[in-house]
Amino acid sequence: MSAKIAVITWSLYGHVAELANDAIEGAKAAGAEVKQFQVAETLPSEVLTKMHAHKAATDALPVIKPDDLKEFDGFILAFPTRYGRAPAQVSAFFDQTGGLWATGALVGKFGSVITSTASQHGGLETTALTTIPWFVHHGINFVPIGYQFPELQEVQKIQGSSAYGAGSVTSGDGSLRPTEQDKTVAKGQGKHFANVVGQFVRGKQ
C-alpha cells in the first residue's frame, strides 16, 4: 500500500507553488499517492489586486478542509514567509482544526515544510521552525531533510533550502524564480518524505 500524501499550498506569486510541484514529482517517484490542495484565501480581493497577487498556479486546486487531513498519512505544507513565520491564511486553517485535535485524529501522521523568503536571511528557517508547534500539538511527526543533499552546502550562490526543508529566495520584487538547486532539494524532499511515510505505512500493515 502506498503512502497517501497531501501537498497543501498557499502561494501569492507562485514561487512556493513551483517548489511544491517539484516535491510532488519526488514523492510520486517514490511511489506515493499525492493529492494537491490550496489553502483558503482570507484577504479581500481588492487587497490582493493591490498586492499584484498572481495565484494562477494554485487557483484551480481544491481548497483544503480540516476533515480532508484525516484521509492522508502525511502533509507537505508549502507557503512563503510572512514576517518569519507562516501566513495568516495557513494559521486560519489550523485554527479550524480543533475538532481534529480534540479527537487525536492526526496523531501519528507526518508533516514537512517548504517555504520561501524575499531576502536571504528573511526567515526561511524560522518559518519552518514556527510551524512545528502545529505539528506537535496534533501529534504529527515533523520530517526535516537534514543535510542529505549536497546543494545545502552551497555558499557561493544564493540557495534557499535548509535542514528544515526546501526553500527559495525570491528577491523583493519576486524576480528570482526557484533555482535548479532549490528545485532539486524540493524534489529530494518529496522523495524523502514519501519514503519515510511509506515505510511507516507498510510497517503498520
Ligand X SMILES: Cc1cc2nc3c(=O)[nH]c(=O)nc-3n(C[C@H](O)[C@H](O)[C@H](O)COP(=O)(O)O)c2cc1C
Site of interaction with ligand X (CB under 6 A) = 11-16, 80-84, 116-119, 122-123, 170, 174
CB of 165 to ligand X, least distance (A): 14
What is the nearest approach in angstroms of ligand X to the Cβ of residue 118?
Answer: 4
* Residues 193, 110 contacting (CB under 8 angstroms): yes
Residue with nearest beta carbon to ligand X: 122
| Residue 11 or 184 with smaller CB distance to ligand X | 11
Q: Considering only CA atoms, which of 54, 46, 51 is closest in space to residue 18?
A: 54
Closest distance of CB 177 from ligand X, Å = 9
Cβ proximity to ligand X: between 81 and 162 the closer is 81
What is the distance between the alpha carbons of residues 28 and 55, in angstroms, rounded to a whole number?
24
Using the minimum distance from each CB to ligand X, give the nearer residue, 144 or 174. 174
Gap between the Cα atoms of 37 and 59, Å rounded: 10
169: CB partners within 8 A, 6+ apart: 116, 117, 118, 119, 120, 122, 124, 158, 159, 160, 176
Q: Which is nearer to ligand X, 4 or 177 (CB)?
A: 177
- Give residue 140's Cα distance to chain centre: 14
User: Using an 8 Å Cβ cutoff, are 174 and 13 in contact?
Assistant: yes
Shortest CB 26 distance to ligand X, Å:
18
- How many degrees, rounded to 5, is the angle at CA 75 between CA 69 and CA 79? 110
Shortest Å, Cβ 58 to ligand X: 9
Nearer to ligand X, 4 or 54 (CB): 54
